[in-house]
C-alpha cells in the first residue's frame, strides 16, 4: 500500500511539475512607432532559453499642416499600416521571475495613406503599398507566480520599400512596446 501511495504521489508531482513550465503566452503589445497601435502577440518557447514571438499589429496616425506659398491651404494626412513580425529571442534569467531577452526578426506589412487638402479646392490623394521589416528586439519581462507576464521592449525596425520610407520620412523606426500576456 505504501509503494502504491508513493508511486501515485510521484506521478502527480511529475504531472504538476510539467504543467508549471508554460511554453506558450498570448496577449497584447502596445507600441508607438509611426503612430500608436496595438498588436496581438504570441510566444512559443523552443527551449528554456529560446523562443519565437509573432506579433500582428495595426498602427495609424494623422498629421495636420498648413502651407503658405502661392496661396494658403491646409490639409490632413491619414496614415495606417498593418504588419506581421516574427522574432527569435534568447532569454536570460535576472532573478526569480525577472528576465531579459534579445534577438533578431523580420516581417511584412501593408500601408495606406490619404492626403486631404482644403482651401479653394478640396481633394483627396491616396497611395498604398507593401513593405518588408528587418528588426531587432531587446527587453525585460516579469513572470508572476500566476500565469501573467508583463514586459517592456525596444525594437528598432528598418523598412524595405520603394514608397513606404517616403511616407515615414525615412526607413528606420524605433519602436517601444509594453506587453501583457497570459502564459499557458
Domains in the chain, ordered, with CATH?
23-183 (2.40.160.20)
pLDDT over 70 at 184, yes or no: yes
**Percent with pLDDT over 90 in the chain:** 53
The predicted-structure confidence for 41-69, as pLDDT tens digits, reads as follows 999 999 999 999 999 999 887 777 666 56
pLDDT for the residue 85:
97
Q: DSSP secondary structure string, 63-101?
A: EEEEEESSSEEEEEEEEEEEEEEEEEEEEEEEETTEEEE
pLDDT interval class at 73 (50, 70, 90) = low
Cα 48 to Cα 57, 96, 142, 152, 161, distances in angstroms? 27, 14, 15, 20, 36
Give pLDDT, residue 16: 47
Q: Is the pLDDT of residue 13 over 70?
A: no
Mean per-residue pLDDT, 88-98: 97
Amino acid at each position: 500500500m505504501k509503494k502504491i501511495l508513493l508511486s501515485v504521489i510521484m506521478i502527480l508531482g511529475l504531472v504538476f511539475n510539467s504543467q508549471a513550465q508554460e511554453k506558450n503566452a498570448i496577449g497584447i503589445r502596445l507600441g508607438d512607432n509611426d503612430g500608436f497601435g496595438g498588436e496581438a502577440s504570441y510566444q512559443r518557447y523552443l527551449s528554456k532559453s529560446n523562443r519565437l514571438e509573432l506579433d500582428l499589429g495595426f498602427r495609424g496616425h494623422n498629421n495636420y499642416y498648413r502651407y503658405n506659398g502661392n496661396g494658403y491651404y491646409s490639409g490632413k494626412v491619414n496614415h495606417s499600416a498593418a504588419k506581421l513580425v516574427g522574432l527569435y529571442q534568447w532569454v536570460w534569467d535576472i532573478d526569480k521571475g525577472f528576465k531579459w531577452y534579445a534577438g533578431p526578426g523580420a516581417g511584412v506589412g501593408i500601408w495606406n495613406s490619404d492626403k486631404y487638402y482644403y482651401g479653394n479646392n478640396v481633394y483627396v490623394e491616396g497611395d498604398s503599398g507593401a513593405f518588408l521589416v528587418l528588426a531587432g528586439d531587446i527587453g525585460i519581462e516579469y513572470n508572476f507566480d500566476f500565469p501573467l507576464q508583463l514586459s517592456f521592449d525596444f525594437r528598432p525596425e528598418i523598412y524595405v520599400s520603394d514608397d513606404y520610407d517616403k511616407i515615414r520620412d525615412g526607413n528606420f523606426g524605433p519602436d517601444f512596446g509594453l506587453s501583457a500576456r497570459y502564459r499557458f
